[in-house]
Amino acid sequence: MSARIPHTERADLRADCAACFALCCVALPFARSADFAADKPGGTPCGNLGADFRCGVHARLRERGYQGCTVFDCFGAGQKVSQVTFGGRDWRSAPDSADAMFAVFPVVRQLHELLRYAAEALDLPAARPVHRELRRRHDEIDALTRGGAAELLAVDVPALRAEVNALLLRASELARASVPGRRRDHRGADLMGARLRGAKLRGASLRGAYLIAADLAGADLREADLIGADLRDADLSGADLTGALFLTQPQLTAARGDGATRIPATLRRPGHWRP
Protein backbone atom coordinates (compact mmCIF):
# COMPACT_ATOMS: atom_id res chain seq x y z
CA MET A 1 0.00 0.00 0.00
CA SER A 2 1.41 3.39 -0.99
CA ALA A 3 2.02 6.03 1.66
CA ARG A 4 -0.66 8.68 2.10
CA ILE A 5 0.24 12.02 0.57
CA PRO A 6 0.06 14.90 3.09
CA HIS A 7 -2.81 17.29 2.38
CA THR A 8 -0.25 20.02 1.68
CA GLU A 9 0.91 18.11 -1.40
CA ARG A 10 -2.42 16.83 -2.72
CA ALA A 11 -3.05 18.38 -6.12
CA ASP A 12 -6.57 16.94 -6.23
CA LEU A 13 -7.59 19.23 -3.36
CA ARG A 14 -6.24 22.36 -5.07
CA ALA A 15 -8.12 24.18 -7.80
CA ASP A 16 -6.74 23.60 -11.31
CA CYS A 17 -8.60 26.16 -13.41
CA ALA A 18 -6.89 24.98 -16.61
CA ALA A 19 -8.61 21.60 -16.22
CA CYS A 20 -12.02 23.09 -15.38
CA PHE A 21 -14.68 24.57 -17.65
CA ALA A 22 -15.07 27.71 -15.50
CA LEU A 23 -17.84 26.10 -13.46
CA CYS A 24 -17.60 28.64 -10.63
CA CYS A 25 -18.08 31.43 -13.20
CA VAL A 26 -21.29 29.88 -14.52
CA ALA A 27 -22.96 27.51 -12.06
CA LEU A 28 -22.98 29.80 -9.02
CA PRO A 29 -25.15 32.90 -8.60
CA PHE A 30 -23.99 36.20 -7.16
CA ALA A 31 -25.69 39.48 -6.32
CA ARG A 32 -24.48 43.02 -6.85
CA SER A 33 -22.77 44.00 -3.61
CA ALA A 34 -19.44 44.97 -2.11
CA ASP A 35 -18.17 41.59 -3.33
CA PHE A 36 -19.61 41.60 -6.85
CA ALA A 37 -20.05 44.43 -9.33
CA ALA A 38 -23.16 42.94 -10.95
CA ASP A 39 -25.98 40.45 -10.50
CA LYS A 40 -25.66 37.01 -12.06
CA PRO A 41 -28.13 34.13 -11.75
CA GLY A 42 -26.91 30.58 -11.33
CA GLY A 43 -26.37 28.71 -14.60
CA THR A 44 -25.57 31.92 -16.50
CA PRO A 45 -21.99 32.70 -17.58
CA CYS A 46 -20.37 35.73 -15.96
CA GLY A 47 -20.04 38.64 -18.39
CA ASN A 48 -16.27 38.54 -17.91
CA LEU A 49 -15.95 34.92 -19.07
CA GLY A 50 -14.24 34.37 -22.40
CA ALA A 51 -14.76 31.70 -25.06
CA ASP A 52 -11.63 29.96 -23.76
CA PHE A 53 -13.21 29.51 -20.28
CA ARG A 54 -10.86 32.13 -18.85
CA CYS A 55 -11.72 35.25 -16.89
CA GLY A 56 -11.11 38.41 -18.88
CA VAL A 57 -10.43 40.50 -15.78
CA HIS A 58 -8.69 37.91 -13.60
CA ALA A 59 -5.67 40.13 -12.94
CA ARG A 60 -7.95 43.05 -11.99
CA LEU A 61 -10.78 41.37 -10.08
CA ARG A 62 -10.50 43.50 -6.96
CA GLU A 63 -10.27 46.81 -8.78
CA ARG A 64 -13.19 45.83 -11.03
CA GLY A 65 -15.40 45.06 -8.04
CA TYR A 66 -15.22 41.28 -7.99
CA GLN A 67 -13.54 40.73 -4.64
CA GLY A 68 -15.87 37.77 -4.02
CA CYS A 69 -14.21 35.86 -6.85
CA THR A 70 -10.77 36.27 -5.27
CA VAL A 71 -11.82 34.49 -2.06
CA PHE A 72 -13.59 31.54 -3.67
CA ASP A 73 -11.91 28.13 -3.69
CA CYS A 74 -13.47 24.96 -5.09
CA PHE A 75 -10.82 22.76 -3.40
CA GLY A 76 -10.35 20.91 -6.69
CA ALA A 77 -14.04 20.21 -7.31
CA GLY A 78 -14.03 22.08 -10.62
CA GLN A 79 -11.60 19.78 -12.37
CA LYS A 80 -13.20 16.71 -10.76
CA VAL A 81 -16.63 17.54 -12.18
CA SER A 82 -15.21 18.64 -15.54
CA GLN A 83 -12.82 15.77 -16.14
CA VAL A 84 -14.22 12.87 -14.08
CA THR A 85 -17.96 13.27 -13.60
CA PHE A 86 -18.52 14.50 -17.15
CA GLY A 87 -15.49 12.94 -18.81
CA GLY A 88 -14.08 16.13 -20.29
CA ARG A 89 -17.34 17.27 -21.92
CA ASP A 90 -17.90 20.98 -21.42
CA TRP A 91 -21.25 22.74 -21.05
CA ARG A 92 -20.84 24.62 -24.32
CA SER A 93 -20.17 21.64 -26.56
CA ALA A 94 -22.61 19.41 -24.63
CA PRO A 95 -25.45 21.76 -23.62
CA ASP A 96 -27.67 18.79 -22.73
CA SER A 97 -25.32 18.13 -19.79
CA ALA A 98 -25.13 21.74 -18.62
CA ASP A 99 -27.93 21.72 -16.04
CA ALA A 100 -26.67 18.50 -14.43
CA MET A 101 -23.12 19.80 -14.42
CA PHE A 102 -24.13 23.05 -12.74
CA ALA A 103 -26.17 21.17 -10.12
CA VAL A 104 -23.40 18.68 -9.38
CA PHE A 105 -20.62 21.25 -8.99
CA PRO A 106 -21.71 22.74 -5.61
CA VAL A 107 -22.26 19.22 -4.24
CA VAL A 108 -18.76 18.08 -5.18
CA ARG A 109 -17.36 21.37 -3.92
CA GLN A 110 -18.77 20.64 -0.45
CA LEU A 111 -17.47 17.07 -0.57
CA HIS A 112 -13.99 18.27 -1.54
CA GLU A 113 -14.05 20.76 1.32
CA LEU A 114 -14.77 17.87 3.70
CA LEU A 115 -11.92 15.90 2.11
CA ARG A 116 -9.58 18.83 2.66
CA TYR A 117 -10.48 19.07 6.36
CA ALA A 118 -10.27 15.31 6.86
CA ALA A 119 -6.91 15.18 5.13
CA GLU A 120 -5.55 17.91 7.41
CA ALA A 121 -6.82 16.06 10.48
CA LEU A 122 -5.05 12.94 9.24
CA ASP A 123 -1.82 14.98 9.23
CA LEU A 124 -2.17 15.74 12.95
CA PRO A 125 -0.16 13.22 15.00
CA ALA A 126 -2.09 14.09 18.18
CA ALA A 127 -5.35 13.12 16.48
CA ARG A 128 -4.21 9.53 15.98
CA PRO A 129 -7.06 8.11 18.15
CA VAL A 130 -9.59 9.17 15.49
CA HIS A 131 -7.44 8.54 12.42
CA ARG A 132 -8.93 5.15 11.61
CA GLU A 133 -12.50 6.44 11.52
CA LEU A 134 -11.44 9.64 9.76
CA ARG A 135 -9.62 7.67 7.09
CA ARG A 136 -12.67 5.48 6.56
CA ARG A 137 -14.96 8.47 6.14
CA HIS A 138 -12.39 10.23 3.95
CA ASP A 139 -12.16 7.25 1.61
CA GLU A 140 -15.96 6.93 1.44
CA ILE A 141 -16.32 10.58 0.48
CA ASP A 142 -13.51 10.31 -2.05
CA ALA A 143 -15.30 7.37 -3.66
CA LEU A 144 -18.53 9.40 -3.78
CA THR A 145 -16.82 12.21 -5.69
CA ARG A 146 -15.93 9.72 -8.42
CA GLY A 147 -19.53 8.61 -8.92
CA GLY A 148 -21.98 9.67 -11.59
CA ALA A 149 -24.11 12.79 -11.61
CA ALA A 150 -27.26 11.04 -10.36
CA GLU A 151 -25.38 9.44 -7.49
CA LEU A 152 -23.83 12.76 -6.46
CA LEU A 153 -27.13 14.62 -6.55
CA ALA A 154 -28.59 12.00 -4.20
CA VAL A 155 -25.93 12.57 -1.52
CA ASP A 156 -27.25 13.89 1.80
CA VAL A 157 -24.50 16.47 2.26
CA PRO A 158 -25.76 17.96 5.57
CA ALA A 159 -25.88 14.51 7.19
CA LEU A 160 -22.44 13.65 5.88
CA ARG A 161 -21.04 16.98 7.05
CA ALA A 162 -22.45 16.41 10.55
CA GLU A 163 -20.80 12.99 10.80
CA VAL A 164 -17.42 14.25 9.62
CA ASN A 165 -17.62 17.38 11.77
CA ALA A 166 -17.93 15.26 14.91
CA LEU A 167 -14.63 13.59 14.01
CA LEU A 168 -12.99 16.90 13.14
CA LEU A 169 -14.09 18.35 16.46
CA ARG A 170 -12.50 15.43 18.31
CA ALA A 171 -9.32 15.79 16.23
CA SER A 172 -9.21 19.47 17.12
CA GLU A 173 -9.62 18.76 20.84
CA LEU A 174 -6.80 16.21 20.74
CA ALA A 175 -4.50 18.54 18.80
CA ARG A 176 -5.12 21.49 21.14
CA ALA A 177 -4.91 19.50 24.37
CA SER A 178 -1.16 20.05 24.67
CA VAL A 179 -1.40 23.84 24.38
CA PRO A 180 -0.38 25.30 27.74
CA GLY A 181 -2.69 27.54 29.75
CA ARG A 182 -6.38 28.27 29.42
CA ARG A 183 -7.87 27.61 26.00
CA ARG A 184 -10.71 30.00 25.26
CA ASP A 185 -13.96 28.76 23.74
CA HIS A 186 -15.46 31.23 21.26
CA ARG A 187 -17.23 28.66 19.12
CA GLY A 188 -19.90 30.37 17.04
CA ALA A 189 -19.36 33.65 18.89
CA ASP A 190 -20.39 37.00 17.43
CA LEU A 191 -17.09 38.88 17.44
CA MET A 192 -17.79 41.20 14.53
CA GLY A 193 -15.66 44.30 14.90
CA ALA A 194 -14.28 43.03 18.21
CA ARG A 195 -11.16 44.66 19.61
CA LEU A 196 -8.87 41.67 20.00
CA ARG A 197 -5.57 43.36 19.26
CA GLY A 198 -2.79 41.32 20.87
CA ALA A 199 -5.30 38.81 22.27
CA LYS A 200 -3.93 35.55 23.62
CA LEU A 201 -5.98 33.06 21.64
CA ARG A 202 -3.50 30.25 21.34
CA GLY A 203 -5.34 26.92 21.14
CA ALA A 204 -8.72 28.68 21.27
CA SER A 205 -11.82 27.34 19.58
CA LEU A 206 -13.05 29.90 17.07
CA ARG A 207 -15.08 27.38 15.08
CA GLY A 208 -17.76 29.22 13.14
CA ALA A 209 -17.03 32.50 14.93
CA TYR A 210 -18.04 35.76 13.26
CA LEU A 211 -14.82 37.76 13.14
CA ILE A 212 -15.84 40.15 10.38
CA ALA A 213 -13.76 43.36 10.63
CA ALA A 214 -12.36 42.24 13.99
CA ASP A 215 -9.07 43.77 15.11
CA LEU A 216 -6.77 40.77 15.56
CA ALA A 217 -3.55 42.66 14.94
CA GLY A 218 -0.71 41.03 16.87
CA ALA A 219 -3.00 38.33 18.24
CA ASP A 220 -1.61 34.92 19.17
CA LEU A 221 -3.68 32.45 17.13
CA ARG A 222 -1.24 29.56 17.19
CA GLU A 223 -3.02 26.19 17.11
CA ALA A 224 -6.41 27.93 17.21
CA ASP A 225 -9.28 26.04 15.57
CA LEU A 226 -10.57 28.32 12.81
CA ILE A 227 -12.82 25.95 10.89
CA GLY A 228 -15.68 27.96 9.41
CA ALA A 229 -14.61 31.22 11.08
CA ASP A 230 -15.64 34.29 9.08
CA LEU A 231 -12.52 36.44 8.73
CA ARG A 232 -13.79 38.89 6.14
CA ASP A 233 -11.95 42.19 6.52
CA ALA A 234 -10.44 41.05 9.85
CA ASP A 235 -7.11 42.73 10.60
CA LEU A 236 -4.44 40.03 11.00
CA SER A 237 -1.48 42.41 10.81
CA GLY A 238 1.36 40.94 12.83
CA ALA A 239 -0.82 38.08 14.06
CA ASP A 240 0.67 34.61 14.55
CA LEU A 241 -1.39 31.85 12.92
CA THR A 242 1.35 29.24 13.04
CA GLY A 243 -0.21 25.81 13.28
CA ALA A 244 -3.77 27.19 13.08
CA LEU A 245 -6.20 24.32 12.57
CA PHE A 246 -8.44 24.02 9.49
CA LEU A 247 -7.58 27.51 8.24
CA THR A 248 -8.19 27.76 4.49
CA GLN A 249 -6.86 30.01 1.75
CA PRO A 250 -10.24 31.72 1.20
CA GLN A 251 -10.34 32.73 4.87
CA LEU A 252 -6.88 34.29 4.65
CA THR A 253 -7.64 36.02 1.36
CA ALA A 254 -10.81 37.54 2.81
CA ALA A 255 -8.81 39.05 5.69
CA ARG A 256 -6.25 41.85 5.85
CA GLY A 257 -2.66 41.23 6.89
CA ASP A 258 0.90 42.33 6.33
CA GLY A 259 4.45 41.06 6.02
CA ALA A 260 4.62 40.44 9.76
CA THR A 261 1.62 38.08 9.77
CA ARG A 262 2.76 34.52 10.35
CA ILE A 263 0.73 31.93 8.48
CA PRO A 264 0.80 28.12 8.17
CA ALA A 265 3.29 26.77 5.63
CA THR A 266 0.40 25.11 3.79
CA LEU A 267 -1.05 28.49 2.74
CA ARG A 268 0.19 31.42 0.67
CA ARG A 269 0.31 35.07 1.62
CA PRO A 270 -2.46 36.98 -0.23
CA GLY A 271 -1.19 39.41 -2.82
CA HIS A 272 -3.33 42.29 -1.57
CA TRP A 273 -1.83 42.25 1.94
CA ARG A 274 0.48 45.08 2.94
CA PRO A 275 4.24 44.44 2.79
The pLDDT value recorded for residue 117 is 97
Position 182 scores a pLDDT of: 87
List, in order of start, the domains of the chain with CATH numbers: 7-175 (no CATH), 182-275 (2.160.20.80)
Show the CA angle centred on residue 119, arms to residues 79 and 117, nearest 5°: 85
In this structure, are residues 79 and 146 in contact, taking their beta carbons and an 8 Å threshold? no
pLDDT for 29-84, tens place per residue?
A: 999 999 999 999 999 999 999 999 999 999 999 999 999 999 999 999 999 999 99
Q: Which residues of the chain fall short of a pLDDT of 50? A: 1-2
Instruction: Give pLDDT, residue 5.
Output: 65
Contact 252, 237 (CB under 8 A): no
HSE-up (13 A, CA, CB side) for residue 212? 4
| Integer Cα distance of 251 and 110 in angstroms | 16
262 bridge partner residues? 240
* Cβ-proximal residues to 240 (8 Å cutoff; 6+ apart), any chain: 219, 220, 221, 222, 261, 262
pLDDT the model gives residue 3? 53
The closest alpha carbon to 76, from 26, 27, 118, 16, belongs to 16
Instruction: Determine the pLDDT at residue 2.
Output: 43
Which pLDDT belongs to residue 8?
62
Q: Residue 5: CA atoms inside 13 Å, Cβ hemisphere, count?
A: 9
- CA neighbor of 145 nearest in space, from 71, 88, 95, 75: 75
Give, for 2, the enclosing helix (H) or strand (E). none
In this predicted structure, what is the pLDDT of residue 4?
A: 57
Residue 94: what pLDDT? 96
Residue 68 has what pLDDT?
A: 95
Mention every residue, 6+ apart, whose C-beta is less than 8 A from residue 100: 149, 153
